[in-house]
Amino acid sequence: MKKIAGGGSLIFGVDTAMNLHDGNDLGTSVMKAGVTTAMSASNPGLYFGLTAASMAGEGYWALQNFKYQKKQWWNAQYAYNNEVGGNYVDTQRAQTMRQAAVQAIQGSKMNARSALGGEAKILNPYSQRRY
């Protein structure tokens, strides 16, 4: 019986210390640790199941967060090479200016290759490669 009581008090003490470390005050930490210790002593199977389920949920969330951060890093480093225009963000203002420029070129009968070639070079994802 002493071993069981000693184990319970150890769990109670560790749980209280962890609650204090998480930012709870002493009264709240003692109450939470008391409920946890009573549940673990009265129904260890349910306590283990709830604890394991909580840890599994946190592990799944951490895995999803890792995958998301990895994908964001990959996109920031390399994925712009697979998109037309690289990482150029088109806006309504830029589209309006391009449309006005094309109309001016058509109206002046200017050689359109040199004028439109500059814009194609800007939007070309391979014009500024990073190796």
pLDDT string in tens for the chain (131-residue length): 444 555 667 888 888 998 898 888 899 999 989 888 888 888 888 888 988 998 999 999 999 999 999 988 887 776 555 555 556 667 788 888 888 887 887 777 666 556 565 666 666 655 554 44
d(C-alpha 124, C-alpha 86), whole Å:
7
d(C-alpha 26, C-alpha 24), whole Å:
7
| pTM score of the predicted model | 0.40
Q: Are the CB atoms for 18 and 32 separated by under 8 Å? A: no
